Amino acid sequence: MSGRTMAAAAPDSPLYLGFDFSTQQLKVVAIDGNLNVVHQDNVQFDSELPEFRTQGGVHIHTDRLTVTSPVLMWVKALDLLLDKMKGAGLDLSRVRALSGSGQQHGSVFWRTGASETLKQLHPDQDLHQLLQDSFSVADCPVWMDSSSRQQCEELQAAAGGAVVLAHITGSRAYERFTGNQIAKLHQSRADEYQNSERISLVSSFAASLFLGGYAAIDYSDGSGMNLLDIRTRTWSEICLEACAPDLERRLGTPQPSTSVLGSVSSYFVHRYGFSESCSVVAFTGDNPASLAGMRLQPGDIAVSLGTSDTLFLWVQQPRPALEGHVFCNPVEQREFMALLCFKNGSLTRERIRNENTGGSWELFSAALRETPLGNNGNIGFYFDSMEITPPAVGVHRFDREDNRVSCLGPGAEVRALVEGQFVSRRLHAERLGYSIIPGTRVLATGGASCNKEILQVLSDVFNAPVYTMDLSGSACLGSAYRALHGLVAESGVSFFDVVKKAPEPKLVATPHPTAQQVYQQMLQRYARLEESILQEPRP
Ligand code: XUL
């Protein structure tokens, strides 16, 4: 897509940029002080930078476990994107502040001496040429990599078990989490580790390009490394030592996600016409940036209903668990957010639709309308493929007496699926410390969020109003909002004061008066039945 400028704002009014270095593309959005989007642009890695031969922005190696992206592809994408923005006539001298996000967990290894190169970038050349020799690892491990199983076990053993590690860092050990990836590099390619003077996340790497010097890792994205103590917001000694020697020096000191890290380097002033005073606000992970883009507030829950269902939660009193992740909150330093991923989402809803309502969403919706809240006591678990939350597989149906049954009538099956999915989302959210409070809103997005009856069940199960919003681009937009907020955060202005002019999401469902009673009971019963499923030997 080529750049789009929608501006009607005054020609010299200030602008704020949000970048998103995601898996498949680099995106940018420019907003004005009234939060209107005035420009958007992107660079698709596979099609616009074919020389890197990526598929979906990555290389999947022959072991199927190792998944990497070329760091110079990301650098070249930034050259291309800035050229496009300039070419589209966007006056970059108007940009007061910029921020951005990156796919979480991916790591960039800067070669010894790279900080000197970053300080002296010559505006006649592009970044890709200038930084050719600045990385000790050409192919960066990304979030899709799952080749560090052994290092995860070692880290958990060193920390005193998965529960202790989750308590410290917000998550048990995950293969994609950066500490385990760094440990793997150190063990398998010690020279490359030794040659790295600095290790960045994708987010802080991108901020470093703009700063012309190493950018701090922010608390929120830093929480996706299995290295940060999410309560003290400092690196955990135990984790650092378990992963690799001399690691603290290579990571730098983590900083609040709202920090202004400095101004853009003179390279951007001379080559692209940025103002010398344009601030660079700490970049963060794409999920934290989405939370900002959705303007989630305390007690809110965002549900993305896609191939897999993802939940974002604003959490005040976190209880890290063996499932899900707790991160430091990107917009309010003392608070937290949680992320939960459920693998059996849309594909399972489609299967049940095909088998029970002849492939028709209308009949699926009618089934939800015609069956009562609580489904006459029928309840079901539909894990077509091995679920992440909880780790269970298979379809399990129970009648009102908790007897296993092999089928339910078509209407009851549809309701059992949708209620079961949402009760499970709520149960696991509450286990991570989430609680529904007065004023809680459920923000729904993704494919299934256009189905009103599905959203009615969501509203009933959470006993809260459901709103819909378009999440595509929320990481990018959230980054632009964060750029704007970063300028005033130090003087105590809250993120919500800054973004209050943004368009409101649309109310689509409110809970039925009996919902609280029905689902409070079902939650307890569901938890008990889930426990019994987890105890069973796997088929
Ligand atoms: C989150 C995760 C992914 C990436 C995608 O833990 O691994 O959502 O952030 O960009």
Q: Tell me, what's the pLDDT at 473?
A: 86
Is the CA virtual torsion 269, 275, 276, 280 positive or negative? negative
Q: Which residue has the tokens 């269970």?
A: 392
Alpha-carbon distance 10 to 385, whole Å? 53
Is the Cβ–Cβ distance between 100 and 21 less than 8 Å? yes
End-to-end CA distance of the chain: 47
Q: Is the overall model pTM greater than 0.85, yes or no?
A: yes
Quick check: 8 pLDDT over 70?
Answer: no
Distance between Cα 272 and ligand 1 center (Å): 31
Top mutation candidate among 142, 176, 287 for ligand 1, by most atoms within 8 Å of CB = 287
Alpha-carbon distance 218 to 231, whole Å? 14
Pocket of ligand 1 (CB under 6 A): 22-23, 103-105, 143, 176, 224, 285-287
Q: Tell me, what's the pLDDT at 306?
A: 85
For range 227-231, the mean pLDDT: 98
Atom of ligand 1 nearest to the CA of 23: 10
Atom of ligand 1 nearest to the CA of 310: 8
For range 184-204, the mean pLDDT: 98
State pLDDT tens for residues 76-98. 999 999 999 999 999 999 999 99
Atom of ligand 1 nearest to the CA of 176: 7
Q: Tell me, what's the pLDDT at 536?
A: 86
Helix (H, G, I), strand (E, B) or coil at 233: coil
For range 27-50, the mean pLDDT: 97
Query: What is the chain's mean pLDDT, rounded?
Result: 95
Distance between Cα 137 and ligand 1 center (Å): 21
Distance between Cα 287 and ligand 1 center (Å): 7
Cis bond leading into 503, ω under 30°? no
Alpha-carbon distance 104 to 115, whole Å? 23
Alpha-carbon distance 337 to 311, whole Å? 10
Distance between Cα 234 and ligand 1 center (Å): 22
Top mutation candidate among 21, 22, 101, 104 for ligand 1, by most atoms within 8 Å of CB = 104
Is the Cβ–Cβ distance between 339 and 324 less than 8 Å? yes
**Partners of 26 in the β-ladder:** 21, 43
For range 507-514, the mean pLDDT: 98
Written out in words, the top-level CATH class of the domain with range 4-282 is alpha beta
Query: Counting Cβ atoms within 10 Å, is residue 34 exposed (0-12), middle (13-18) or buried (19+)?
Result: exposed
Atom of ligand 1 nearest to the CA of 103: 10
For range 39-63, the mean pLDDT: 97
State pLDDT tens for residues 130-144. 999 999 999 999 999
User: Percent of the chain having pLDDT more than 70?
Assistant: 98
State pLDDT tens for residues 496-510. 999 999 988 999 999
Angle between helices 346-356 and 410-431 (to 10 degrees): 160
Quick check: 4 pLDDT over 80?
Answer: no
Q: Which residue has the tokens 């990481």?
A: 475
Protein residue whose Cα sits closest to atom 3 of ligand 1: 104
What's the one-letter identity of residue 39?
Answer: H
Protein residue whose Cα sits closest to atom 1 of ligand 1: 104
Protein residue whose Cα sits closest to atom 10 of ligand 1: 103
Q: Tell me, what's the pLDDT at 3?
A: 64
Q: Tell me, what's the pLDDT at 308?
A: 85
Q: Of 25, 253, 244, 52, give the one whose Cα is nearest residue 148.
A: 244
Alpha-carbon distance 528 to 443, whole Å? 28
Distance between Cα 70 and ligand 1 center (Å): 18
Give Cα separations from 170 to 326, 338, 516 (angstroms). 5, 9, 30
Distance between Cα 75 and ligand 1 center (Å): 20
Top mutation candidate among 69, 103, 474 for ligand 1, by most atoms within 8 Å of CB = 103
Alpha-carbon distance 428 to 278, whole Å? 42
Protein residue whose Cα sits closest to atom 5 of ligand 1: 103
Name the segment(s) of the chain with CATH classification 3.30.420.40.
4-282, 295-472+505-539
Alpha-carbon distance 460 to 453, whole Å? 11
Q: If pLDDT is split at 50, 70 and 90, which confidence band does 2 have?
A: very low
Architecture of domain 295-472+505-539: 2-Layer Sandwich (3.30)
State pLDDT tens for residues 414-465. 999 999 999 999 999 999 989 999 999 999 988 888 899 999 999 999 999 9
Top mutation candidate among 143, 169, 174, 337 for ligand 1, by most atoms within 8 Å of CB = 143
Give Cα separations from 78 to 32, 41, 256, 268, 442 (angstroms). 22, 11, 25, 12, 35
Distance between Cα 388 and ligand 1 center (Å): 14
